[in-house]
Amino acid sequence: MNPERADELGGRLPLADPATLTAEQRALFDRMFARIVPWAHDAGFQTTAKNGRLIGPFNPALLNPAVTTSLLDLHVTERAHTSLSERVREVVILAVGAVWQADYELYAHVAVARSAGLSDAAVRMIAAGEQPSELSEQETIAQRLTQQLSASHRVDDTLYRQAEEAFGVHGLIDIAFLVGIYHTVCATLNLFAIPAPEQAGPS
């Protein structure tokens, strides 16, 4: 797979040409380019093709700029007001991606989780749906809770009590919000069959 072919990096969609965007789409494109692209670069994952077009969930996000703008605002608010540590957040995000097997989400957050201090071995295990023994008790509970909620859409009473003791109800609603955000991300990625850049072979 050639990583610079729009019909491959975009999955089922072409990568949007910035020159053809509406005013609303261009404003969203500029926001993502100014805020998300540098952050992703620092974290160690790719959000643009070599021609500057957005990849990952950011390309289909341009199809509905009004809703995407609100989703980005929600994400910013969630990060600013969560009670969860960065490590716990990344455990939750990777656990969602593992259930969905969302290639780009896992690719991106493997990198982010490493930068949050999780070991490479732990990150790879979480992304594969396995439970690393090196996680803290809180992190382990967060992973199990997310896996169960994401896969079965229910949480059994025993796990709920463990999670409530570990996080309190405030922490639980923060986990629920974070899970919901990344279900939206993964649904978008899988609907449009968006690959991770690392899945691409030599040009």
Beta bridge partners of 54: 48
pLDDT of 3 reads 42
Q: Is residue 69 part of a domain?
A: yes
Is the domain of 28 the same as that of 75? yes
Q: Is residue 91 part of a domain?
A: yes
Q: Is residue 1 part of a domain?
A: no
Helix (H, G, I), strand (E, B) or coil at 12: coil
pLDDT of 5 reads 54
CB under 8 A, 24+ apart: contacts of 4-10: 4/49, 4/50, 4/51, 4/203, 6/49, 6/53, 8/195, 8/200, 9/49, 9/55, 9/194, 9/195, 9/197, 9/200, 10/55, 10/59, 10/192, 10/194
Angle at 80 between CA 74 and CA 85, to 5 degrees: 115
- Domain ranges, residue 93: 83-190
Q: Give the residue carrying structure tokens 């072409």.
A: 14
pLDDT in tens, the chain (203 residues): 344 455 589 999 999 999 999 999 999 999 999 999 999 999 999 999 999 999 999 999 999 999 999 999 999 999 999 999 999 999 999 999 999 999 999 999 999 999 999 999 999 999 999 999 999 999 999 999 999 999 999 999 999 999 999 999 999 999 999 999 999 999 999 999 999 997 644 33
Is the domain of 24 the same as that of 87? no
Is the domain of 71 the same as that of 104? no
pLDDT of 202 reads 38
pLDDT of 2 reads 43
Is the domain of 49 the same as that of 147? no
pLDDT of 203 reads 30
Is the domain of 61 the same as that of 106? no
Is the domain of 89 the same as that of 71? no
Is the domain of 74 the same as that of 137? no
Is the domain of 116 the same as that of 184? yes
Is the domain of 102 the same as that of 55? no
Looking at residue 154, which CATH number applies to its domain?
A: 1.20.1290.10
- Round to the nearest angstrom and report the end-to-end CA distance of the chain: 7
pLDDT of 198 reads 78
Is the domain of 107 the same as that of 89? yes
Report how far apart, in Å, the C-alpha atoms of 107 and of each of 9, 47, 70 are. 13, 11, 24
Q: Is residue 112 part of a domain?
A: yes
Q: Is residue 169 part of a domain?
A: yes
Q: How many domains does the chain have?
A: 2
DSSP 200: -
pLDDT of 178 reads 99
Convert 120-152 to b/e letters by CB count within 10 Å (16 or more is b).
eebbbbbbeeeebeebeebbbbbbbbbbbbbee
With beta carbons less than 8 A apart as the criterion, state whether 191 and 102 touch: no
Q: Is residue 143 part of a domain?
A: yes
Q: Is residue 45 part of a domain?
A: yes
pLDDT of 8 reads 86
Is the domain of 65 the same as that of 97? no
Is the domain of 186 the same as that of 101? yes
